[in-house]
Amino acid sequence: MTRAPIPYGRQVIDEEDIASVVDALRSAWLTTGPRVGEFERAFAEFCGASEGVAVNSGTAALHAAMRALKIDQGDEVIVPAITFAASSNAAVYEGGTPVFADVDPETLLIDPTSVDQKITTRTRAIVAVDYGGQPADYDVLRELAAGREIRIIADACHAPGATYKGRKVGTIADLSAFSFHPVKHLTTCEGGMVLTDDSEVAARMRRFRNHGIDSDHRSREKAGTFAYDMVELGFNYRLPDVQCALGIAQLKRLPGWLDKRQAIAARYDEMFSELPFVRPLATRSDRTNAYHLYVVRLDFNQLKVDRRRAFDHLKAAGVNANVHYAPVYHHSYYRERFGYRPGLCPHAEAAYHEILTLPMFPTLSEADQDYVVAKVAELKHLC
């Protein structure tokens, strides 16, 4: 019998999720309605933040954060080289210039030493990407930003439920952006949220997600008025009630899913300790890792194959590995628009040629995990 391919990540949907969505479909509200606020409050409470602003993707969350901080032409935003392009695209949307910092080779988190070297008088924000699910070095980044009017944005799309020195992600940065894509910790099909403790900033982002209009339909209906005012140029980044219903149901199971991800990662770590050519990324002792991704570095000095051959071998065996990520400035758009060239971030570039993302999701069975490890072990014998 043919073995079903093992994806690197996937959603978990149960009957309660389906019932919640059906209830929403049968209600009076499909788009912006009462479940939006309910989901915002529940997720903000889970993370320990005061305010949540739901939007229709993690990218929209990052864009809303940039607009909330009033990033503009000539402003520089420091971003780690290893991340999904949206982390820096969001600054470009607002006219900002992304400045790429190198990463710590053991964690692939943004390297504060590199950040320090990249700060100029034009720096307005630092995007700290919680790569793979591990929080960045927030205290050091805050020290670098102190007294310089530089704000910290957490790209926490990989890390809901992770902690840094006892504090939950979502409460550490000035603004924290999350994603609810299907391969993330919980899903709303597509969706995202920004968390903050600043109610004025939250109000600004709610306006931004709704075309820049100063009120939504529900608030006008309650006030008995049809009038509204578009006070700025915004976007339609709203997250519908139906999708928020799914998020509310999923959130109830997030703590258990986090436990399972961490247990799977610990088991991977133990099994890979027997393979000297496999080096999992390190997790620092002062934080917990939410493990959206399980990433390893392969020592190709010990192997007789390159990363392409390793990737193809795993894929042929039904192990759908992935690579997260190429340095953002390697993309054609960034090379052509900003003139970035190789050599900008040496640690990031070296890591890119060695990293593989292996399957990680809460329902990954031990048998499938054993199979993944066995196929990785076979890399030693390929020619």
Determine the Cα–Cα distance for residues 173 and 258; give it in Å rounded to an integer.
21
Q: Is there a single domain that holds both residue 194 and residue 54?
A: yes
Q: Is there a single domain that holds both residue 142 and residue 235?
A: yes
Q: Is there a single domain that holds both residue 137 and residue 264?
A: no
Find the catalytic residue in 184, 222, 252, 315.
184
Q: Is there a single domain that holds both residue 241 and residue 259?
A: no
Sign of the dihedral through C-alpha 204, 209, 215, 219: negative
Q: Is there a single domain that holds both residue 26 and residue 156?
A: yes
* Structure-token pair, residue 131: 């790569």
The CATH number given to whatever domain includes residue 78 is 3.40.640.10
User: Each residue of 332-374: pLDDT tens digit?
Assistant: 999 999 999 999 999 999 999 999 999 999 999 999 999 999 9
pTM across the whole model: 0.96
Nearest-5° Cα angle at 251, 247 to 256: 145
Residue 187: the pLDDT is: 98
Has residue 111 been placed in a domain?
Answer: yes
Q: Is there a single domain that holds both residue 143 and residue 289?
A: no
Residue 217: the pLDDT is: 61
Number of folded domains that form the chain: 2
Q: Is there a single domain that holds both residue 364 and residue 230?
A: no
Has residue 169 been placed in a domain?
Answer: yes
Q: Is there a single domain that holds both residue 145 and residue 282?
A: no
Determine the Cα–Cα distance for residues 371 and 383; give it in Å rounded to an integer.
21
Q: Which of 236, 251, 266 is the last residue of a domain?
A: 251
H or E element in which residue 156 lies: none
Number of residues that make up the chain: 383
Has residue 9 been placed in a domain?
Answer: no
Q: Is there a single domain that holds both residue 98 and residue 142?
A: yes
Q: Is there a single domain that holds both residue 216 and residue 312?
A: no
Residue 218: the pLDDT is: 61
Is residue 184 part of the annotated active site? The answer reads yes
Residue 3: the pLDDT is: 81
Q: Which of 194, 218, 251 is the last residue of a domain?
A: 251
Has residue 4 been placed in a domain?
Answer: no
Structural domain that includes position 297: 254-381
The CATH number given to whatever domain includes residue 319 is 3.90.1150.10
Give which of 172, 139, 132 is closest to 154, Cα–Cα: 172
Residue 1: the pLDDT is: 52
Q: Is the peptide bond before 8 cis (omega within 30 degrees of 0)?
A: no
Has residue 209 been placed in a domain?
Answer: yes
Determine the Cα–Cα distance for residues 191 and 13; give it in Å rounded to an integer.
16
Angstrom CA distances, 118 to 54, 100, 338, stand at 32, 8, 16
Has residue 3 been placed in a domain?
Answer: no
Q: Which of 198, 228, 251 is the last residue of a domain?
A: 251
Instruction: Flag residues of the chain having pLDDT under 50.
Output: none
Residue 221: the pLDDT is: 58
Angstrom CA distances, 256 to 65, 96, 134, 167, 179, stand at 29, 39, 18, 19, 19
Q: Is there a single domain that holds both residue 242 and residue 263?
A: no
Residue 228: the pLDDT is: 86
User: Each residue of 239-276: pLDDT tens digit?
Assistant: 999 999 999 999 999 999 999 999 999 999 999 999 99
48: exposed, middle or buried (Cβ count in 10 Å: 0-12, 13-18, 19+): middle
Q: Is there a single domain that holds both residue 260 and residue 212?
A: no
